[in-house]
Structure formats: C-alpha cells, structure tokens
Structure 1
Amino acid sequence: MIYLDYQATTPLAPEARAAMEPWLADDGFANPHSPHRMGRAAKAAVEVAREQVAALLPPGGRVVFTGSATEALNLAIQGSGARKVAVSAIEHAAVLDTARACCELQELPVDHAGLVAPDAEFAAGTQLVAVMQVNNEIGTIQPVDALAARARAAGALFLCDAVQGTGKLAAPAGADLIAISAHKLYGPKGIGALWVRDGVDLKPLIHGGGQEAGLRSGTLSPALCAGFGAAAAVAARRCEEDAAHVAALWDAARGVLARWTLNGSAEARWKGNLNLRLDGLDVNRLMSECRGIMFSAGSACASGSGRPSHVLSAIGLTNAQAKSAIRLGFGRFTVTDQLVEACAALDVAAREQGC
C-alpha cells in the first residue's frame, strides 16, 4: 500500500512512539494530577510536553491541552463569548458548524485561487475572526498575519486553525487563539491544544476538576502529551528538511500528473497537498481500481456525505468539477519512487475511464 492521505492523518513518528512507551508501561500509569511521587513524575512529563508544543507557537501565551483540535476550536469560539463572528468560507467544519450553532455568522469569500483577501472587510460589531492558516482540502496558505492585524484594528479577536500548518510553517504571530492537533504533525491521535494569548479571557466548556488552569477539566494522558511533545520537538528540528522533501515530492507528482487541473493556488500553498481534477472522472471508480493507493476524494471529515466539497464550491467549481477531484497528501515518510508509481497508476486508471 502507498499512503497519500497526510491531510487526514500522519504516520506516528518513531520519536513520538518512543516518548509514549514509558507512560504505557506497568509503572507509568499514574494520574498526573495526583500529589504522590508517581503523579508528580507524570505531571513533569506533561509539562515538558507543554513546553515542547509551546516552542512551535508564538511567545506570550499558554498551551491548553484538549482532546482534539475540534475541541480546541469549540473552546476558542464558544469560550470567547463572541456573538458576531467572521470566518472564511473554506474553514473546517469544526469552525463553520460551531460558529453557525452559537453566533451571528459572516462568511468571508475566497477567490478562485482559494484565498481570502488580506483587506477583507468585517461586519460592524464583529468580535471574533477565524481564518485557517492552511486549508485542509486544497492546501492554500491564507494571509493570516494581515487578517489578524485587521481583526485587531477592528477590536476583534483572531482565531487561527493552524492544524495543517503547525510544524511546517511559521506560527501565525498575530493570532490571539491558535488550535493545533498532534496527529497532523506525526504525533498520536486523541490530543490537541489551544494556544491562548496572555490576557485573552475564555470561559471553559468542560467543568469538573479544574484541570488546565480551569479551562479544560479532565485527567490528562501523560502518554498522549509526551507523544505530542516529542512530535512537536522533531517538527521544530526538521522543519526546513521536511519542507525541502515535500517540495521535491510535489515536483515529482506534478511531473506525472501534468495534464490534471490543480485546484487552488500553485504558489500560496503547502506543497504536501495536491488537489487535482479531471473533468468527467468517476472518483469512486478510481478508488476501487486503485485500492492499494490511500488517497482522498476530498476532506476526510466530509467523506460519505454525498455533498460536493464546500471548499471546491467556494472557489467556483461546479458540482461536477468538485466531484471529479482527488486529494493527494504526502510528507516526511513518503518515498519519491512510491509517489511516482502511485501517480502513474492513478493517471492510467483515469485514462481507462476516457478522461
């Protein structure tokens, strides 16, 4: 099998696995909130991990561990108390659906390249602006620093879903709130984090024991925290190396799939995300015929819904065009020869459909 679905999840880094193992052993099960020696040792591991994750994020804030980036985004939006929110039209459902459920919502349009205008106008009284750093479906990199500055000038907080960009790109320095996920940067599933700028006041969603400085009650997993921290430390160390590898993979894949149409900007994007289409392509048939290649027909979070991607619709694609798109995701552990082999197989299968 050839895995090309890095936007859905990334392989667990060996360093993250090694960091988790002591906390899965017979004597590593202690509650990090317990006052005895084993509990204090577990808490120390959690705090080391917190520092490692914080090193990927701007100074002047704190890291709150959560069960996922989705939870982190809910905490940011609902916990802020904002009632008027502006979000990009191509945000993840964790932002769009949460904002729709509890706020008066303004959707900021994107152009055909999948980019929000850096001088976007916010409705009067907007209290929170949410724009993601890197889109999970088409990989476009948004002008988040410019948008954060405009939000601040308008008296609004700026929330950035940095799930796809953390550990790959510089952190959005102007943000007030940043949501990230361990399993998108070669860490374990089941843990995320919300970075909160100093001075930003949030109300908790989960009440109970008052853990995470009162913002997120519940017992933390030392194993998940340790794995998250180790993955973050490796990402910080390998950032340039990983980016160079991904750029080379992109060039190799585009060389094979040159006749396919690229969705989204070719320049303002993370090149580990290759979203392409061929008019008339039956993607379900392609997946069936190329079962040894793990790729996506769109966002993994929306797969099976039967609806065309809201992201592809927002950049102007028709329903038919959106349904003829595939997403290839690659990264640190992708082997160039395997990627080329997979792309060639996909192209041959598409040609056999007459596309």
Structure 2
Amino acid sequence: MNKLIYLDNAATTKIYPEVAETIHKESVEDFFNPSALYKPSVALSVKIKNARESIKSALKAPDGELYFLSGGSEADNTALFCTRKPKGSKIIVGEGEHDAIINSANQLAMQGFDVRFAPINKDGSINVEEFEKLLDDSVSLVSIMHVSNETGAVNDIAKLVRLTRKHCPKAVFHSDGVQAFGKIKVNLRALDADLYTISAHKIHGPKGIGALFVKKGVSIKPLIYGGGQEKGFRSGTENAPAIIGFAQAVKTCLDNFDADYSKKMIFREQLMTKLVESIDGIEIVSPKENFAPNILTVAFKDVRGEVLLHDIEDYGILVGIGSACSSHHESRFKGLLGLDESHKDGIIRFSTSYENDVNDVDYIVSTIKNSLEKLTAYKRI
C-alpha cells in the first residue's frame, strides 16, 4: 500500500491527537452523569458550561443559546421542524443543501408547507437574484448553507439575511455552517442569522456531537423530549467527553487557523493549476472567488467519478465524489451544475486538511492522469 493521502476531509476529518486523549480521559475519569447532584457531577456540568461558552465565543455569537445535539443532521432537522411557523406558510431552502435539509424540507412539504427551492449557480453558490424573487410576507423560514459541501462556494449569508429581513421580517433564517466553521472566519454577530449549525467531526473533533446556535428571541421547540437536559431543549444524558472534546477541537483549530488556511490555499492552487496543465478536458466546478480553501471540485471528461475514485484508491489516494456516493442526492446535485454529458458523471471532490502536503500534488496529478489514460483505453476496447 502506498502512503495514504486523504483528500475527503469534507466528509470527515481525522481527530486531533490531543482531542482523542481528552475524550479518553474524560470517559474514564469523568464518567458521571452531569445531571446528578454529587460533587463530581457538578464539576462535570461546569466543564460542559465552559465548553459551551468557549464555542460561543469562537463563533462570535450574539445573545442566545448554543445547544449540543448529536451532530449536524440533528441540528438541521431541529432548525427546520421545530421553528414555530404557520401551517401552509412558505419555506425557502437552497437547491444545493445537504440532504439533512433537503429531506426535511420534503417532509415539511408533505405536511402542507409551501416549500420552494432557491436556485444555485453552476459553482454551487446561491443565485441571489432568484433567491430574492422567492421572498414575500408568506415566508416563515429560510435555510441556506454557509459553505457548499459539494463545491466549497461561500454564500454571502449576511446579504441573504438582509434581503430576508427586508421582504419577510418575521421569517426565521437558518444557515448550515458545518462546512464553514473552522474553514473560513465565522462571525455570527455579523451574519445575523437566527439559527446556525456546526459539527465537531468536520474540524478534527469527535463524531456524534454538533450544536445549534439559537439567537435570543427566536421561537423554537425541542425535537427530543425527556429529562430536560440542555435547558429542556435537547433531552438525553449529555455526551460530556464529546462536548469537552468538541471545545478542544475548536480551540486547536482556531489557534492554528491562519497557518492552516494559508497551507490549504497553497495546496488548492497548486492542485488546480497542475490538473489543468496536465489533463485535457477538465472542468473546474468550484468557484474562482468566494470559496473555502479546503475544497476543490472538478469534473473529468468521459469517466465515472466512482470508477476513478476506486482506481486511484489503489495508489493510496482517497477522494470524494460528493456528500452522498451513489445516492439520489448525487444525481440531483449533478443536474444542478449545468455540466455537459461528457463531464456530469466525472465529478471528483478534493477536500484537504492541515495534514495535506503540497509536495504530494505531483504524485496525485500523475496518478490521476495515468488512471484516466488506463480507464479511457479500457473504454475503447
């Protein structure tokens, strides 16, 4: 097996070693139920409180609550299903949203809500003009992702919020920030969104833990009922080791943000340049501006992305073909990008982390080029 080059960090990230150590330590030593009344439990509840406050501070959050949930999908479901909205009112979501949003919106449509999908541009960003046309007094909820998990396009959430406030001031605005937080600078006070989703495992934290920020004054009810944890918003015994690990991952990520951002930008630029120089017929799907530094999505000609993925995997290179391999979402999203027939099946998403080395770019490109030549030859036989 060749050296492993992991380029699917938009799917999940390798946990920071210090975070893994913290989670193990907390699991073994602080195994108590945070809701119990004895001193070790009270001390653990203080650790959870401190973790919450540190993440809120990292988000530059306005007045409001940060609720810990099981991950980004639960946070997105909670945002869509649990905001208070009149029956039959209009709900707007982006065409290119994560399946947690799309499928929740489809369920709401079945319940009688007027769900509209805001069109995206070919680079995966929201078409702002078309978005504004959907806004009127009947809109109760808007959900637009901050960064596209498919292309890395960064949406101007602050502008979209301003347009929403202008045309439908009573509407609640949610943004899925799972691919934004830790990758680009996030300032919730500046964005002014009412609800914002984040997830730990996208920033080298543990799986199974995420959070939903709810701005003060937003009317939202729980999705899960029970013992009243998280101030009654999310019942179930708190996953204290994961919560504390989440906060540590946030701190490590942001402490190294500038250096890691620069490293990922250099890797992205080198990879894009050398792919275009070395391989004929390639199309860059990701935007040329307003993009996250860690995602580069390209479309290769006359090849299936899944076949290419498996071929280069044999040489130690792991890439993605989007958020949901071989799923309805994949085929739906490909149709939104406006690619021609020769390119629409050849989408590959490269997503990097601080661990990726720019010195590997030549090997990555040459391996892909050789693989394409081999696969094209097989196709001609």
Q: What is the TM-score normalised by the length of structure 2?
A: 0.88
Question: Which has the higher mean CA deviation after the structures are superposed, 4-13 or 163-172?
Answer: 163-172
Structure 2 residue 253 is the aligned partner of structure 1 residue 235: yes
Shift of 1:91: 0.6
Structure 1 pair 312/269, CA: closer, same or farther in 2 (3 Å)? farther
| Number of the residue aligned with 1:317 | 339
Structure 2 residue 152 is the aligned partner of structure 1 residue 139: yes
Q: Which has the larger radius of gyration?
A: 2
1:40-55 equivalences in 2 (<5 Å):
40-55=42-57
| Number of the residue aligned with 1:21 | 24
| Number of the residue aligned with 1:248 | 266
Looking at structure 1, the residues matched to 215 and 329 of structure 2 have their Cα atoms a distance apart, in angstroms, of 37
| Number of the residue aligned with 2:230 | 212
- State the superposition RMSD in angstroms: 1.8
Specify the code of the residue in structure 2 equivalent to 1:296: G
- The one of 71, 75, 81 aligned to 2:74: 71
Q: Which runs of 5+ in 1 are unaligned?
A: none
SS state of the match for residue 354, structure 1?
A: helix
> Moved runs in structure 1, 4+ residues, more than 6 A?
none
Confirm or deny: 8 A CA contact 1:6 1:330 kept in the other structure.
yes
Shift of 1:311: 2.7
1:73-112 equivalences in 2 (<5 Å):
73-82=76-85, 83-102=89-108, 103-112=113-122
Confirm or deny: 8 A CA contact 1:191 1:224 kept in the other structure.
yes
Confirm or deny: 8 A CA contact 2:286 2:296 kept in the other structure.
no
Looking at structure 2, the residues matched to 96 and 262 of structure 1 have their Cα atoms a distance apart, in angstroms, of 25
Shift of 1:115: 2.1
Q: Which runs of 5+ in 2 are unaligned?
A: none
Looking at structure 1, the residues matched to 246 and 263 of structure 2 have their Cα atoms a distance apart, in angstroms, of 22
Confirm or deny: 8 A CA contact 1:56 1:167 kept in the other structure.
no
Looking at structure 2, the residues matched to 106 and 53 of structure 1 have their Cα atoms a distance apart, in angstroms, of 33
Shift of 1:195: 0.3
Confirm or deny: 8 A CA contact 1:283 1:324 kept in the other structure.
yes
- The one of 106, 110, 125 aligned to 1:115: 125
1:185-196 equivalences in 2 (<5 Å):
185-196=203-214
Looking at structure 2, the residues matched to 113 and 282 of structure 1 have their Cα atoms a distance apart, in angstroms, of 20
| Number of the residue aligned with 1:152 | 165
Question: Which has the higher mean CA deviation after the structures are superposed, 175-184 or 143-152?
Answer: 143-152
Shift of 1:267: 1.1
Structure 1 pair 320/43, CA: closer, same or farther in 2 (3 Å)? farther
| Number of the residue aligned with 2:142 | 129
Shift of 1:30: 0.5
The alignment of Structure 1 onto Structure 2 pairs a total of residues equal to 352
| Number of the residue aligned with 2:297 | 275
Structure 2 residue 218 is the aligned partner of structure 1 residue 200: yes
Looking at structure 2, the residues matched to 270 and 91 of structure 1 have their Cα atoms a distance apart, in angstroms, of 16
SS state of the match for residue 217, structure 2?
A: coil
Specify the code of the residue in structure 1 equivalent to 2:322: G
Q: What do residues 23-68 of structure 1 show as CA deviations (whole Å, max 9, x unaligned)?
A: 122x321011111111112212211211221122222221100001
Q: What is the TM-score normalised by the length of structure 1?
A: 0.94
